Structure 1
Amino acid sequence: MQTIYLAGPEVFLPNALDVLLNSKKLCETFGFRALTPFDGEITDKVQLAKANQIFVENVSLINQCDIVIANCNPFRGACVDDGTAFEIGYAYAKNKSVYGYINDKRNLPEIVKSKIPTKPHPSGYAIDDDGFLLNEDFGNSINLMLEFSILNSGGELVLGDLESVLQLLKNRS
């Protein structure tokens, strides 16, 4: 049985334990064992030490898995959650298969414009309120480093949800 690590911002939901437990059960119905960031053993009570222990445990969980499935939907803005981005990159570096899912596959500048204020700029690109151009118009829906980590790992960025990725994996086996 292959093991999947579920990456994504679900850990920040008020009902995170329930959501992740349901995701693990869904993975089981497709014949996969699932690990989540909550499966690490966190014992430290000192905040900074606890944060480091979470990091170490999550890296260990990724090392134990065969596949990473990442929720690539925008989180607290227009882009993928920072922690999820790290997990995608780390999994790619460890030669894991990485799959992502997203509910909006417009190109990234369109997604950004729908999430944050932008205005026209003489360069022809939009510019945000912090002075950064939206010039990453390559047809990808998430940061190119993430999307191509997914694609070059042999995975895919799927329009849909976790179940959509699991169905794809089932059909490939």
Structure 2
Amino acid sequence: MQTIYLAGPEVFLPNALEVLANSKKLCESFGFRAFTPFDGEITEKLQLAKAKQIFEENVSLINQSDIVIANCNPFRGACVDDGTAFEIGYAYSKKKCVFGYVSDKRTLPEIVKSKIQTKPHPSGYAIDNDGFLLNEDFGNSINLMLEFSILNSGGNLVLGDLESVLQILKNRS
């Protein structure tokens, strides 16, 4: 049975345990064994030591997985959750197949403009309130480093949800 690591910001939901348990059941219904960030062996430690242990356990779970499926929807802003971004990059570096899913396939500048305030700039690009140009208009819905990590791993960035990705994986088998 192939194993999947589920990456995404769901760990921050108030009902995270329930949401991730349902995601694992969904994976099982498609014939996959799923790991979530909560599946690591975390013991009671001081905060920094606990954080390091969470990191190490999540890396271990990715190492044990055949596939990583990442929720690439915007989190606390316009971009992918940074922990999820790391997990995508780490999985890519370990030659894992990575799939991502989004509910919005507009271009990244369009998504950014819908989430944060921007204004016109003489360069022709919009600029945000921190002084950064929105000049990464290559047609990607997420940062190009993440999207090409996904594509070059043999996976895909899917418009849909976890179930959409699982259906694609089932059809590949």
Q: After TM superposition, is the score higher than 0.5?
A: yes
Match of 1:99 in 2: 99
Match of 1:66 in 2: 66
Is residue 2:5 matched to residue 1:5? yes
Match of 2:76 in 1: 76
Deviation at 1:141, TM superposition (A): 0.3
Q: Percent identity?
A: 88
- Please give the secondary structure, in 2, of the residue aligned with 1:142: coil
Is residue 2:128 matched to residue 1:123? no
What TM-score comes out, normalization by structure 2 length? 0.99
Aligned-CA RMSD value: 0.4
Alignment coverage as a number of residue pairs: 173
Rounded Cα–Cα distance in structure 2 between residues aligned with 1:44 and 1:129: 41
- Please give the secondary structure, in 2, of the residue aligned with 1:168: helix
Rounded Cα–Cα distance in structure 1 between residues aligned with 2:60 and 2:68: 13
Q: Which letter does structure 1 place at the counterpart of 2:100? A: G
Q: Are the equivalent residues in 2 in contact too, given 1:44–1:53 (CA < 8 A)?
A: no
Match of 2:135 in 1: 135
Match of 2:156 in 1: 156
Rounded Cα–Cα distance in structure 2 between residues aligned with 1:4 and 1:118: 38
- Please give the secondary structure, in 1, of the residue aligned with 2:98: strand
Structure 2: runs of 5 or more not aligned: none
Deviation at 1:44, TM superposition (A): 3.3
Rounded Cα–Cα distance in structure 2 between residues aligned with 1:120 and 1:151: 32
Deviation at 1:45, TM superposition (A): 2.2
- The runs of at least 4 consecutive aligned structure 1 residues that moved more than 4 Å come to none
Deviation at 1:39, TM superposition (A): 0.2
Deviation at 1:17, TM superposition (A): 0.2
- Please give the secondary structure, in 1, of the residue aligned with 2:169: helix
